[in-house]
Amino acid sequence: MSTPTSIIPDAEAAHPEFYEALAAQHVKALWTIPGTLAPEPTLDEVPYVWHARDLWPLLEKAAEFISPDDAERRAFNASNPKRVFGTSHNLVAGYQMVLPGETAPAHRHTPSAIRLMLRGGGITTVEGEPVWMERGDLVLTPPVSWHDHRHPGDEPMIWLDGLDVPFVRGQHAQFAEEYPNEQLQDLTRPQDASVAEYGVGLVPAHSTWTRKHSPLNKYAYSTTRPALLRLWEVEGSPTSGSTLEYVNPLTGGPVIPTISSYLSYIPEGGASKPERHTPSKIFCVLEGGGHSIINGERFDWEENDFFVVPSWHWYQHIADQGDAVLYSLSDWPIYEPFDLVRREVRDEYPQL
């Protein structure tokens, strides 16, 4: 990708006093602004992989001196190497750990979060509903929903947090508040109530749900994994694998207004088709090991690692250690209403 230059190179050098006079008025001449007519997106993010083998021991170290009660959350945020904050320009992802017996207090905020459970089992309470989570389950904490975390089990629990904080902050729409007077919210619904209501492809007749996010708080791996394998069997794409999107059962739309989620299967020895698109994606490895070629560069990954594919980067996943199951989250829904989605898929990796 070429670096954008101003339309008239070195324009300032020819008339320095003129441009200083403009600058004093807090104005720039359009013909001197790099990228004004850039033919392709110019990015402040790069592809990168974060390894569980490096970060999980650091989470355990953090547990020696940080409790979720004091720190609100014992969570790491992965910063893109080219950014101060944000795994991509709209999303932030990272691991969170809760130990047996610990609780993380209730709060709510305008940014939305998804949790992809990776280790152990425990509860995230969402708007009064305790949601049991175990490996591979996707749990939503939608915008402005009270949520806390509780750990009745006996093994540390670790999950991947994915949030739209960079986007929400960029819109100057970040608000957050603590649950009044209490550490944990009141339980007002039975455990996994939303799964009973919305979790089997049927919805309650005359549902009164009016929020924009999915009414289903959990997509259990015990149902999503077999669905993915069945799709792969019927789709007939033996080497390139298959992908399902998690949807709002009432609308067929994304699970959260700003965040879509996917589950992909690639059989061992297979490879996804090379593609690129304007939305970015963060992938997390639920099963298998392999590597991705992102704009020509190789990134190796194994179970529980996560990696970012920035906007408009060609990528292809290759499963070389067992069948791979990759979860991904994306800022795709942000692009759709503005007609900004562009996607290309090829049979062969393109010459860059």
Q: Residue 250: left if φ>0, alpha if ψ -120 to 50, beta else—which one? A: alpha
Whole-number minimum distance, CB 256 to ligand GTQ, in Å? 14
**104/266 with CB nearer ligand GTQ:** 104
Min CB(119)–ligand GTQ separation in Å: 15
Asked if 133 interacts with ligand GTQ (CB under 6 A), we say: no
CB closer to ligand GTQ out of 96 and 242: 96
For the four alpha carbons of 282, 140, 273 and 318, in that order, the dihedral sign comes to positive
Q: Percentage helix, strand, coil, to 5, in the chain?
A: 20, 35, 45
Q: 146 by DSSP, 3-state: which?
A: coil
Chain positions 8 to 27 lying near ligand GTQ, rule: CB under 6 A, are: none
Q: Which of residues 102-121 bind ligand GTQ (CB under 6 A)?
A: 113
Which residue from 159, 306, 298 is spatially nearest to 218, judged by alpha carbons? 159
Residue 161 is a binding residue for ligand GTQ (CB under 6 A): yes
Residues 260-319 that bind ligand GTQ (CB under 6 A): none
Cα(32)–Cα(36) distance, rounded to whole angstroms?
Answer: 9
C-alpha to C-alpha distance for 95 and 306, rounded to whole angstroms: 10
We find the least distance from the C-beta atom of residue 73 to ligand GTQ, in angstroms, to be: 5
Assess 96 for contact with ligand GTQ (CB under 6 A).
yes
**Amino acid at site 260:** S
CA–CA gap between residue 24 and residue 18 (Å, rounded)? 10
Residue closer to ligand GTQ, measured from CB, 177 or 336: 177
Q: Rule CB under 6 A: which of 236-265 touch ligand GTQ? A: none
Assigned token pair, 290: 């392999």
Of positions 59, 75, 118, 139, contacts ligand GTQ by CB under 6 A: 75
Q: How far apart are CA 202 and CA 216, in angstroms?
A: 11
Residue 141 C-beta: closest distance to ligand GTQ, Å: 6
**Which residue number, 101 or 226, has a Cβ lying nearer to ligand GTQ?**
101
How many Cβ atoms are within 10 Å of 59's Cβ, its own excluded?
A: 19
Q: Determine which helix (DSSP H) or strand (DSSP E) holds 98, and give its type and residue range.
A: strand 92-98
Minimum distance between the CB of residue 83 and ligand GTQ, rounded to whole angstroms? 16
Whole-Å CA distances, 128 to 18, 107, 262, 340: 62, 12, 26, 37
Give 96 or 103: the residue with its C-beta nearer to ligand GTQ.
Answer: 96
The answer to whether 147 contacts ligand GTQ (rule: CB under 6 A) is yes
Total residues in contact with ligand GTQ, by rule CB under 6 A: 8
Q: Does 163 bind ligand GTQ (CB under 6 A)?
A: yes
Residue ranges binding ligand GTQ (CB under 6 A): 73, 75, 94, 96, 113, 147, 161, 163
